[in-house]
């Protein structure tokens, strides 16, 4: 057997083996890992029922990024098309509020639930070890364990209650799966959720409402197992 023949046979065996790596129709992949969640808060006009609205004009908010556990289940309907369902441990965010140039640190605390269903298209074919993808889907965003704390202004606005409305939000994602072997893989992705909600605060100063945007970028890495 010539050296060229041996090389050709070895390459053929490698290609055949690598074909077992990539995602194919009927596969299910469960994954768990970490999500780094970075919201960009934008507060619209706040309206108060008893005090002058100009007092709250130009109010702004900031929400620091945080990390949490993320899990998913991906089902492949064809070699290139799959649907993924994701959820995780709802992270707690601390929101700073700035009014008239004064920043009220950690004025609000809340947990955000963002379970999502995303359709994904995988590029390449089932014989490739690295599979980039694009996806689009929807998330049901809801806010829980909302509480407020702080100085006299914050408590006057929100001592009695604080809430944010739930909504359906589109999800846009891009990423890639690297198949370690025929069972294990690593999935890295970035997703964007343009979250919009209405905030309602009730306190001694009456009821305050306003629209809030939390345009959120999620950076996720997970270890997956195929069955």
Q: Provide the mean pLDDT of the chain.
A: 86
- DSSP labels for 16-68? HHHTTTS--TT-EEEEEEEEEEEEEEEE---EESSS-GGGGTT-EEE---EEE
Is the CB of residue 153 less than 8 Å from the CB of residue 184? no
Give the C-alpha distances (Å, rounded to integers) separating 66 from 168, 196, 201: 22, 19, 24
| End-to-end alpha carbon distance in the chain | 39
pLDDT digits (tens, 9 = 90+) for 51-86: 555 567 677 888 889 999 999 999 999 999 999 999
pLDDT digits (tens, 9 = 90+) for 117-167: 999 999 999 889 999 999 999 999 999 999 888 778 788 888 888 899 999
Among 147, 166, 48, 140, CA closest to 107:
147
What class, spelled out in words, does domain 3-226 have in CATH?
Answer: mainly beta
Q: Which pTM value belongs to this model?
A: 0.84
């Amino acid at each position: 057997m010539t050296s060229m023949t041996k090389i050709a046979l070895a390459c053929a065996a490698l290609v055949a083996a690598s074909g077992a790596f990539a995602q194919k129709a009927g596969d299910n992949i469960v994954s768990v890992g970490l999500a780094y969640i970075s919201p960009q808060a934008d507060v619209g006009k706040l309206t108060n029922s008893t005090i002058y609205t100009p007092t709250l004009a130009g109010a702004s908010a900031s929400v620091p990024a945080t990390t949490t556990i993320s899990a998913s289940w991906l089902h492949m309907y064809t070699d290139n098309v799959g649907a993924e369902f994701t959820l995780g441990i709802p992270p707690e965010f601390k929101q700073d509020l700035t009014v008239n140039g004064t920043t009220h640190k950690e004025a609000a605390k809340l947990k955000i639930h963002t379970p999502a269903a995303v359709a994904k298209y995988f590029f390449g074919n089932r014989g490739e070890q690295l599979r980039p993808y694009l996806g689009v889907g929807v998330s049901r965003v809801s806010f829980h364990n909302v509480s407020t704390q702080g100085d006299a202004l914050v408590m006057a606005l929100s001592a009695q209650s604080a809430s944010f409305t739930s909504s359906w939000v589109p999800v846009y994602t891009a990423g890639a799966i690297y198949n370690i072997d025929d069972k294990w893989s690593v999935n890295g992705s970035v997703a964007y959720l343009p979250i919009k909600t209405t905030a309602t605060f009730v306190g001694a100063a009456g009821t305050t409402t306003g629209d809030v945007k939390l345009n959120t970028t999620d950076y996720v890495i997970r270890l997956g197992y195929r069955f």
